């Protein structure tokens, strides 16, 4: 049973189709792993009965040769995706008892292709965080530990920390996630897995609890580039219910992964060479450059001059949109309701009790930058800088095909570290927010271990809707890195 959970998603699919394993057997193995490793707190809601029923239905389809692209594959769904009849909390107390009567488009696409959902994964509240410490349902534990220091409990990154921990610990072969400023790529790097943030518009946002609507994008987490590419193919597609969904055909993202990279032009931005970056991060980046050069790529120094403004721009735009999106949680229509003497009192009591400290902080920041007298000075200016950041990438992509950077400024840190300073926490997104501001695809690939035995990731950023090329380069990095290390928990 244990070895079934160590198969790749592609390997599981092959064995299911060959009928050498059954979907029920595979699902039971993963449900057992989830039960064994509940201390990780990776899941908010588990759905074992529904999963086993879906597994039996999958076996019946496979027996008749009617399986889809993911028939029989157990997956986890980030608890930001609305799931019909299954509680969806967004990691917040204010939605503690919310059961949607509809299915998000992305999770519906996965169901259409036969995936089995085993549960909803934990996350930072409303996806606001880089540590998974802001969840109303407790922090997620990273299955990795520092070499020689099992006492320190590490964060898995955020906001998709539950999905990352579940995949890394072999509780599921893949999971859905969302990325607003790095919430797929950063936890993927912290846990030694692959995370793809697609081009904005590649995956529908319909049915995903909104944080910052112009930045949010769904994507997959898995243990290999191929597995993540398989999931992305199923998750993607035009959706008329989402006005920002791109009406473009969906390629088979896994089809050309092994295509040679000879002639591919890789950009290395000089602005990402930040003062104070740990030597191990710099060394990992240099190693990634060497790997791609060995794979036949040409390496080019590029400039993205407005990079230094990306983080402050993000932390104006994202809170502004969050303050608007979260206005709907007022205790009247759905979610938590805390009574008061009048309507204003009900609003205030509900939001004060329902939202955690980080969410309240971002709502206040967002309301401030949108307020009369400050809108032009902050929000309007941030949007202008955002346009400049996109223009930087547009110019760079005239001479290169992909951009290579570190995924994070360091390895996973311990619960309690960096927590007392919001600005220090926000700096975890320094290498990732540019792709969200520019709407570009990005992927984090495990590249090795640091001196403490913790995973480090490399990031590739691609041209708009050119995930295929980006993933080919990611596969080359994966092949060269040959990352086989396992976390202490779930190994």
What is the structure's pLDDT at 420?
66
DSSP string, 81-149: B-BTTB---TT-GGGTT---SS--HHHHHHHHTT-EEEEEE--SGGG--SSS-S-TT-PPPPS--BTTB
Domain of residue 169, residue span: 1-491
Predicted local distance difference test score (pLDDT) of residue 427: 72
**Residue 486: closest CA among 194, 174, 168, 41:** 168
Beta bridge partners of 174: 222
183 is catalytic: yes
Structure tokens at 481: 């890195």
Tens digits of residue pLDDT in 233-244: 999 999 999 999
Q: Check residue 426 and give its pLDDT.
A: 63
φ and ψ at residue 299, rounded to 5 degrees = -105, 130
Residue 1 pLDDT more than 60?
no
444-466 core/surface letters (b: 16 or more CB in 10 A; e: else): bbbbbbbebbbbbbbbbbbbbbb
Q: Which residues have a Cβ under 8 Å from the Cβ of 27 and sit 6 or more positions away?
A: 51, 52, 54, 55, 72, 74, 116, 118
**Alpha-carbon distance 450 to 452, whole Å?**
5
CATH number for the domain harbouring residue 124: 3.90.1300.10
pLDDT reported for residue 229: 98
User: DSSP label at 309?
Assistant: G
Compute the average pLDDT of residues 311-323.
96
Please give the pLDDT value at position 150.
79
Report which DSSP code applies to 380.
I
Q: φ, ψ for residue 405 (rounded to 5)?
A: -145, 170
Does 491 have pLDDT greater than 80?
no
Phi-psi label, residue 387: left if phi above 0, alpha if psi -120 to 50, beta otherwise: alpha
320 has a pLDDT exceeding 90: yes
**Percent of the residues in the chain that have a pLDDT greater than 90, as a whole number:** 92
- Cβ(139)–Cβ(41) under 8 Å? yes
pLDDT at residue number 334: 85
Pick the catalytic residue from 159, 234, 245, 323.
Answer: 159
Which one of the listed residues 131, 183, 204, 245 is annotated catalytic?
A: 183
Angle at 409 between CA 233 and CA 403, to 5 degrees: 50
**Which pairing describes strands 442-449 and 194-197: parallel, antiparallel, or unpaired?**
antiparallel
* pLDDT tens column, 249-269: 999 999 999 999 999 999 999
Torsion of CA 103, 437, 382, 186, to 10 degrees: 90
Q: Give the pLDDT score at 258.
A: 96
Number of structural domains (the chain) is 1
Confidence of residue 276 (pLDDT cuts 50, 70, 90): confident
163 classed as catalytic: no
Interval 382-436: pLDDT, tens: 999 999 999 999 999 999 999 999 999 999 999 988 766 676 666 778 899 999 9
**Residue 159 annotated as catalytic:** yes
Task: For the chain, give the mean pLDDT.
Answer: 95
> Mean per-residue pLDDT for 442-469?
98
Residues 8 and 86 sit within 8 Å (Cβ to Cβ):
no
């Amino acid at each position: 049973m244990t070895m079934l959970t160590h198969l790749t998603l592609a390997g599981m699919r092959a064995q299911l189709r060959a009928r050498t394993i059954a979907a029920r057997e595979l699902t039971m193995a993963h449900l057992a792993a989830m039960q064994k490793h509940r201390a990780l707190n990776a899941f908010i809601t588990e759905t074992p009965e529904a999963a086993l029923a879906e597994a039996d239905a999958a076996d019946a389809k496979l027996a008749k040769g009617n399986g889809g692209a993911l028939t029989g594959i157990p997956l986890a769904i980030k608890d930001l995706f609305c799931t019909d009849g299954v509680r969806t909390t967004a990691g917040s107390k204010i939605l503690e008892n919310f059961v949607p009567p509809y299915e998000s488009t992305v999770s519906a696409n996965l169901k259409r292709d036969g995936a089995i959902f085993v549960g909803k994964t934990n996350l930072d509240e409303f996806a606001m965080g880089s540590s998974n410490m802001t969840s109303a349902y407790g922090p997620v534990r990273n299955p990795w530990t520092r070499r020689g220091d099992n006492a320190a409990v590490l964060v898995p990154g955020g906001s998709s920390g539950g999905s990352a921990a579940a995949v890394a610990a072999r509780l599921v072969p893949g999971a859905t996630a969302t990325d607003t400023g790095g919430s797929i790529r950063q936890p993927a790097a912290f846990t030694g897995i692959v995370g793809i943030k697609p081009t904005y518009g590649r995956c529908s946002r319909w049915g995903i609890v909104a944080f910052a609507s112009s930045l949010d994008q769904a994507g997959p987490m898995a243990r290999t580039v191929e597995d993540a590419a398989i999931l992305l193919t199923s998750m993607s597609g035009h959706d008329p219910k989402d006005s920002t969904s791109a009406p473009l055909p969906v390629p088979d993202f896994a089809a050309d992964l092994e295509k040679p990279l000879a002639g591919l032009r890789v950009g290395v931005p000089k602005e990402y060479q930040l003062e104070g970056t740990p030597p191990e991060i710099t060394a990992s980046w240099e190693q990634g450059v060497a790997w791609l050069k060995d794979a036949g790529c040409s390496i080019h120094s590029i400039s993205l001059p407005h990079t230094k403004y990306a983080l402050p721009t993000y932390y104006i735009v994202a809170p502004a949109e969050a303050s608007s999106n979260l206005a709907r949680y007022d205790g009247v229509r759905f979610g938590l309701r805390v009574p008061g003497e009048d309507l204003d009192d009900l609003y205030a009591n509900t939001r004060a009790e329902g939202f955690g400290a980080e969410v309240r902080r971002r709502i206040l920041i967002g309301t401030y930058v949108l307020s009369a007298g400050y809108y032009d000075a902050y929000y309007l200016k941030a949007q202008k800088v955002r346009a400049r950041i996109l223009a930087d990438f547009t110019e760079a992509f005239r001479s290169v095909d992909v951009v290579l950077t570190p995924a994070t400024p360091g390895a996973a840190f311990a619960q309690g570290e960096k927590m007392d300073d919001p600005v220090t926490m926000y700096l975890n997104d320094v290498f990732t927010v540019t792709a969200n501001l520019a709407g570009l695809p990005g992927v984090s690939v495990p590249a090795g271990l640091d001196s403490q035995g913790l995973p480090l990731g490399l990031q590739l950023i691609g041209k708009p809707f050119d995930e295929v090329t980006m993933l080919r380069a990611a596969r080359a990095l994966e092949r060269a890195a040959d990352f086989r290390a396992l976390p202490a928990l779930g190994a």
